[in-house]
Structures are given as C-alpha cells and as structure tokens.
Amino acid sequence: MSAFVELDKVSLAYRGASGEVLALRDTSLKVAKGEFAAVVGPSGCGKSTLMKLVTGLVAPTAGTVGVAGARVTGPVKLAGMAFQNPSLLPWRSVIDNVLLPLEIVEPHRGRFRAERKRYAAAAGALLGTVGLDGFGHRFPWELSGGMQQRVSLCRALIHEPALLMLDEPFAALDAFTREELWCVLRDLWQKIGFTVILVTHDLREAAFLADTIHVMSARPGRIVATRRVDLARPRDLSVCFEPAFVDIVHDLRGRIAEVRQG
C-alpha cells in the first residue's frame, strides 16, 4: 500500500548565519490517506521545516518527498495551511479572508468572479460549522484570537484540500479556547475526512486529536519513534482523563526527554 504523504530518507541543509545547518537528517515518514498524524518534538527540531518540505515550498537536499503518489518538486497545490499566527488580511472581511484561496487555486480561480455567490455561500456554511455563523461581514480585528484562528482554519479548508498542514495552530491560545478548537478541528476532520499533519509541542493535543504520533529528535531532526493512538472515536474531551490517554502522554513525554538529553 502506498502512503498519501511519504518522506523517504529526507535530509535538508540550509545556509544559516553560522555556516551550514542540518535541519533534518534521514527522516522517513508515512501518512495514510485520511489519517490524522501529529508530529511532536523539542523546540527547534525542524518540525516547521517538515511542513515546508511536504507542501513543496522547499526542496530536500537528499531523499524524496511524495504526496498523493507523485514526487513533490514544487508547491503541491492541494494543501491547506494554518499557523500559530492566524495571519488574516485586516483589509478584508472575514468571508473575503476565507475566500482568498479560491481566488488563487485552480479550477476555482477561473470561475471565481462568475460564481462568487455560490462560493460565498460555501464559505458562510464553513464558518457556520466552526461556530462563526453571522460573522462573515465582520473584520478580523473585531474578533478574539480564538475566533481569528477559526477563520484561519476555514481559509485553510475552503478549497477542499486533500491535505491539511497545521503548524502549532493553537499554541498562542489560552487553555480553554485551545480545547474548544481541538473539538472544532476534530469535528471538521470527522465530517470532511481530509488528511492532517499537525505539528505541535502539546502532547495532550497530539494524543487527543491524532491517529498516529511521530516523535522527532533534536536538531538535526529525524523521526525517532512512531506511536499509534488507539483511543476510540469520536473522542470526547473527557478522554483526556482516562488512564489510557494519560499513559500515552507519559510515554511521549519520556521519549521527548530522552531525545532532549541525547
């Protein structure tokens, strides 16, 4: 069986201020179609580099990256991305922010003008599913941080990407808002069924959301352990207090402590 996202012995070096920096070394990773994968690791381990490799924004120095059965040589065009910073455009209303990818990506780009109404309705519906019904005509700066991050998620999903790449999307939020958004993401994923790669340093977040958790070592980063999460779905927030869940988090914490030392 071939994986939807596959990194095969990927290394990436780039020229930093103090000479050559090896960000990733011999990293191999497989994510199946529709799988929710999380990547955890100590800070500065090249998790964000991983995101750029998979989306084709940077090319590996060695090894191959494949997405949807094809080798990645340039931007993959079927990915949605969201980051810790919602990075919405302050001059656009919420709905126009969500619609932005459709103005760029084919085939929507060509028919955007003609079918704007239909697209706006779809964006409105998507905003509804993340609990932002009726906020379409507000501006980003009128929303709280958590709401902005919901908009950012909608923007990443509006063009129905097969792959969603998340780089610590909830790291800047307070604990309650963060858990709320875990559920938002869980529901979206269960409803739409895209493939997710979530980069995070929050082990509970990884354990709650993911099917598979990959642990990365300190720089130069590589995957040192992969662990499946077999908690039943749909998961409720109360799962976080079950012994099985706590065991997983403990186990991950131990592994990360190991790679931090070593």
Partner 1 sequence: MTSTLERLSPWLFTIGLFVAWELVCRLAKVDPFIMPAPSQVFLAVGQYWRPLLRHSGVTLWTTMAGFALAVAFGVALGLVVGWSRAIYRGIYPVMIGFNSIPKVAVVPILVVWFGIGEIPAILTAFLISFFPIVVNVATGLATMEPELEDVLRALGARKMDIMLKVGIPRAQPYLFGSLKVAITLAFVGAVVSETIAANAGLGFLMVQAGSNFQMPLVFAGLLGLAVEGIAMYAVFAAIERRMTRWAFRSSMSAGT
Contact residues for partner 1 (CB under 8 A)? 52, 55-57, 75-77, 79, 81-83, 85, 87, 89-91, 100-101, 103-106, 139-145, 148, 155-156, 159, 165
Residues near 45 by beta carbon (within 8 Å), at least 6 away in sequence: 216, 217, 218, 219, 221, 259
- Alpha-carbon distance of 200 to 167, in angstroms, equals 7
Report the nearest approach of partner 1 to the CB of residue 207 (Å): 26
Three-state SS across 87-132? CCCCCCCHHHHHHHHHHCCCCHHHHCCCCHHHHHHHHHHHHHHCCC
Residue 71, strand partner residues: 66
Report the nearest approach of partner 1 to the CB of residue 185 (Å): 17
Instruction: Specify the residue, 27 or 97, whose C-beta has the smaller distance to partner 1.
Output: 97
Report the nearest approach of partner 1 to the CB of residue 113 (Å): 14
Report the nearest approach of partner 1 to the CB of residue 132 (Å): 15
Identify the CA nearest to 56 among candidates 215, 165, 216.
165
Identify the CA nearest to 192 among candidates 129, 255, 258.
129
Instruction: Specify the residue, 109 or 250, whose C-beta has the smaller distance to partner 1.
Output: 109
Report the nearest approach of partner 1 to the CB of residue 80 (Å): 8
Instruction: Specify the residue, 6 or 167, whose C-beta has the smaller distance to partner 1.
Output: 167
Instruction: Specify the residue, 43 or 144, whose C-beta has the smaller distance to partner 1.
Output: 144
- Alpha-carbon distance of 150 to 132, in angstroms, equals 8
Instruction: Specify the residue, 104 or 257, whose C-beta has the smaller distance to partner 1.
Output: 104
* Beta carbons of 154 and 86 less than 8 angstroms apart: no
DSSP state of 242: S
Instruction: Specify the residue, 124 or 161, whose C-beta has the smaller distance to partner 1.
Output: 161
Report the nearest approach of partner 1 to the CB of residue 91 (Å): 5
- Alpha-carbon distance of 141 to 31, in angstroms, equals 36
